[in-house]
């Protein structure tokens, strides 16, 4: 959670109480709200609502109390009640949309943001609402990105309180993290103040075992938040975030503090020179180079909300001026909690991009922020990444099912499950005369993919063959041939057949794709009809629809290069014999010319028109019977050796 922001938010809480001209007109809830003591304000507003006292504004401020203590998901019904009650607050519609999104109601949130964008409310929020509507819609796609990471709690770090963040101090072997497991209660959210803790794991690799203890040194205080300690690689310099104590005399912002280890003792922390005293500066982390410090800040001049910045630590212990990471990282929303992997890859938390709820975790890849998906992220706050290797590390979350309000989790990218496709084929032979279809042994099978590469196999005694295909999705042509048979071909595709990663049972998975090829015996002089070769009345030119069917015959000739054929055309018995004979010859020749134009040797094909001399139906009575006689056929006249 963004705990370090609560106290500074309290400083502006009074300004949010529009409609209260003076302290005297404030309700008891308003007074606690103005002090930033939201946990005390909540039951007071609930009591006012139960009594019907200023119900609309009390509902809105109750929602605000939850939002400002980072529990906006609980604010949804109160914002709605406020709007239904006609609350006069320009922000109410926008805050309601935020609450809907925090509860995973993306369609409702998108609609509410869209409505707010044209409602004439707060101009600044209205300008953001249009973008947030698109983000809410895109969140549905993010929610579908699952099963890429294994996520498990780090039980050694977690307690019933809030536990988050962390860094391994190489020089001591300690893992230093933030926890609210003991100490004084903070009235902003009803939890304890956060402090720095350390642990030596019994099993460092598994991050298990060990006992957490308050971090030794001059870092923790009773009535301030301390969090996000980060160290230079030599363990000699430490930077951490510390809040004010909530009093008017204290610092009115969260700031970065720095301490040095000299002769085994840590110096009293002092304010780092990169703080902006009018803004919050928090969640620092050193890059592996030990000089570059990344941190979050609400200072003016950024993209909006909290932005990520970086600065360099000089030999004199002072930082260079802070540099904003720019709009490729920062958004009008909030970017918090940077984390840097050993290879320099930047991770961070943001609520200004499409995500699942509140803060989501992102990684910068190719200069773009990529959401880690619905394993690492949830509808709650997912933040404080501690990358410890490629696609692995820790993060913190207040998702359901943990020990406390925030828990530390380990994440590791799952190994990519591999898929190998195989053509699981069967070659059969059909015998028209016997009326049988039987498996064929010894047939030569070839498979050609999109690149032209040819894979081959021979069918076994049961007609079976099995050929390994390329792993990439592709379309294939499968062909089988055997002496004495027409070659057979079929199409096979692996496109769209690769299951999702979560549906694959093993790291390596074989997928068999069935395909059957049926050979037909070549019988010399047996007429074989070429279906649907149609001509316009009294014409013989090849129509486009006829060309499509002739292409099938072209393919047969390509697949069976040793055969020669006669192509014949037949008419029905209507019309004069001589005319029908001439027309059929013209049609047959036109078909042959078309086939030759496709690259078939003209010596392999002869045109023959038979007119009405060879009817299938000798005494046709119906149009369908006449149509049967109007046909195009071919027969094999020779098979070369």
Per-residue model confidence as pLDDT tens digits over 327-385:
999 999 899 999 999 999 999 999 999 999 789 999 999 999 999 999 999 988 999 99
- Alpha-carbon distances, residue 513 vs 425, 469, 495 (angstroms): 8, 10, 11
Examine the pLDDT at 11 and tell me if it is beyond 80: no
Measured CA angle at 329 (ends 326, 331), to 5 deg: 85
Instruction: Give the model's pLDDT for residue 25.
Output: 65
User: Residue 15: pLDDT band by 50, 70, 90 thresholds?
Assistant: very low
- State both tokens at 175: 């893992």
Q: Can you tell me the mean pLDDT for 520-531?
A: 90
* Structural domains in the chain, sorted by start: 3-143 (1.25.40.10), 149-413 (2.120.10.30), 418-521 (2.60.40.1120), 528-639 (3.30.1330.60)
Taking alpha carbons only, the member of 385, 404, 381 closest to residue 394 is 385
Instruction: Give the model's pLDDT for residue 184.
Output: 85
**Beta bridge partners of residue 517, listed in sequence order:** 427
pTM of the model: 0.69
Examine the pLDDT at 20 and tell me if it is beyond 70: no
Q: Can you tell me the mean pLDDT for 202-224?
A: 94
Examine the pLDDT at 24 and tell me if it is beyond 80: no
Mention every residue, 6+ apart, whose C-beta is less than 8 A from residue 132: 97, 98, 101, 109, 113
Instruction: Give the model's pLDDT for residue 146.
Output: 83
Q: Can you tell me the mean pLDDT for 291-315?
A: 95
Examine the pLDDT at 6 and tell me if it is beyond 50: no
User: Residue 1: pLDDT band by 50, 70, 90 thresholds?
Assistant: very low
- Alpha-carbon distances, residue 210 vs 9, 158, 198, 217 (angstroms): 36, 12, 10, 20
DSSP element (H, E) containing 89: none
Mean pLDDT across the chain: 90
Q: pLDDT tens-digit profile of 414-431? A: 999 999 999 999 999 998
Examine the pLDDT at 455 and tell me if it is beyond 80: yes
* DSSP annotation of 484: T
Instruction: Give the model's pLDDT for residue 78.
Output: 97
d(CA 179, CA 44): 29
Instruction: Give the model's pLDDT for residue 276.
Output: 93
* Residue 522 near residue 639, CB atoms below 8 Å: yes
d(CA 490, CA 483): 19
User: Residue 81: pLDDT band by 50, 70, 90 thresholds?
Assistant: very high
Q: Can you tell me the mean pLDDT for 472-483?
A: 93
Examine the pLDDT at 279 and tell me if it is beyond 50: yes
* DSSP annotation of 616: S
Return the higher-pLDDT residue of 565 and 11: 565
Examine the pLDDT at 9 and tell me if it is beyond 50: no
Quick one: what percent of the chain has pLDDT higher than 90?
Answer: 71
Taking alpha carbons only, the member of 177, 179, 155, 174 closest to residue 165 is 177
The single residue listed with the structure tokens 């041939």 is 481
Q: 499-508: long-range contacts (C-beta < 8 A, 24 or more apart)? A: 499/419, 500/147, 501/147, 501/148, 501/414, 501/416, 501/417, 502/146, 502/147, 504/417, 504/419, 506/417, 507/415, 507/417, 507/418, 508/417, 508/418, 508/420
Pairing, β 605-611 against β 563-570: parallel
Backbone CA torsion sign across 32, 36, 39, 43: positive
User: Residue 2: pLDDT band by 50, 70, 90 thresholds?
Assistant: very low
Examine the pLDDT at 249 and tell me if it is beyond 90: no
């Amino acid at each position: 959670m963004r705990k370090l922001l609560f106290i500074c938010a309290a400083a502006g809480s009074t300004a949010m109480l529009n409609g209260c001209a003076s302290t005297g007109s404030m309700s008891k809830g308003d007074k606690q709200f103005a002090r930033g003591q939201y946990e005390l304000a909540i039951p007071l507003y609930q009591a006012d609502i139960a009594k019907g006292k200023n119900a609309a504004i009390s509902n809105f401020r109750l929602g605000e109390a939850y939002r400002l203590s980072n529990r906006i998901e609980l604010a949804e019904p109160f914002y709605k009640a406020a709007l239904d009650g006609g609350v006069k607050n320009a922000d109410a519609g926008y805050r309601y949309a935020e609450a809907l999104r925090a509860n995973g109601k993306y369609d409702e949130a998108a609609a509410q943001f869209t409505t707010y964008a044209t409602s004439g409310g707060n101009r600044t929020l209205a300008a953001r609402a249009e973008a947030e509507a698109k983000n809410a819609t895109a969140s549905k796609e993010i929610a579908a990105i699952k099963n890429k990471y294994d996520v498990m709690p780090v039980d050694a770090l977690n307690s019933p309180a809030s536990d988050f963040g962390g860094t391994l101090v190489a020089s001591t072997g300690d893992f230093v993290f933030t926890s609210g497991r003991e100490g004084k209660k903070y009235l902003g959210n009803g939890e304890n103040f956060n402090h720095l803790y350390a642990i030596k794991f019994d099993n460092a690799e598994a991050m298990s075992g060990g006992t957490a203890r308050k971090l030794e040194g001059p870092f923790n205080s009773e009535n301030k938040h301390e969090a996000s300690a980060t160290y230079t690689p030599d363990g000699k310099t430490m930077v951490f975030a510390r809040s004010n104590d909530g009093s008017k005399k204290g610092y009115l912002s969260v700031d970065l503090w720095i301490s040095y280890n000299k002769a085994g003792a840590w110096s009293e922390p002092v304010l780092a020179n990169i703080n902006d005293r009018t803004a919050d500066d928090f969640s620092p982390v050193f890059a592996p180079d030990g000089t570059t410090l990344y941190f979050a800040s609400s200072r003016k001049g950024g993209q909006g909300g909290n932005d990520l910045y970086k600065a360099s630590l000089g030999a004199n212990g002072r930082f260079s001026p802070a540099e904003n990471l720019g709009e490729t990282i920062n958004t009008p929303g909030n970017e918090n909690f940077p984390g840097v992997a050993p290879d320099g890859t930047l991770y961070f938390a943001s609520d200004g991009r499409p995500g699942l709820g509140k803060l989501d975790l992102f990684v910068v890849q190719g200069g773009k922020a990529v959401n880690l998906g619905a394993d690492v992220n949830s509808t709650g706050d997912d933040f404080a990444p501690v990358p410890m290797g490629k696609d692995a590390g820790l993060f913190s979350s207040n998702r359901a099912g943990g020990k406390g309000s925030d828990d530390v989790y380990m994440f590791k990218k799952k190994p990519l499950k591999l898929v190998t496709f195989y053509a699981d084929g069967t070659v059969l032979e059909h015998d028209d005369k016997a009326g049988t279809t039987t498996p064929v042994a010894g047939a030569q099978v070839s498979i050609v993919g999109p690149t032209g590469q040819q894979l081959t196999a021979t069918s076994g005694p049961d007609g079976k063959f099995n050929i390994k295909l390329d792993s990439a999705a592709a379309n294939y042509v499968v062909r089988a041939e055997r002496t004495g048979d027409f070659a057979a071909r079929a199409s096979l595709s692996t496109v769209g057949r690769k299951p999702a990663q979560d549906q694959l049972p093993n790291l390596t998975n074989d997928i068999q794709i069935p395909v059957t090829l049926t050979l037909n015996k070549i019988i010399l002089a047996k007429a074989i009809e070429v279906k649907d070769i149609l001509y316009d009345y009294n014409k013989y030119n090849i129509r486009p629809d006829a060309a499509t069917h002739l292409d099938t015959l072209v393919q047969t000739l390509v697949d069976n290069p040793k055969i020669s054929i006669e192509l014949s055309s037949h008419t029905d018995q209507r019309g004069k014999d001589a005319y029908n004979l001439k027309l059929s010859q013209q049609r047959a020749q036109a078909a042959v010319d078309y086939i030759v134009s496709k690259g078939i040797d003209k010596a392999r094909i002869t045109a023959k028109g038979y007119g009405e001399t060879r009817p299938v139906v000798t005494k046709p009575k119906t149009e369908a019977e006449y149509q049967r006689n109007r046909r195009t056929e071919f027969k094999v006249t020779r098979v070369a050796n």
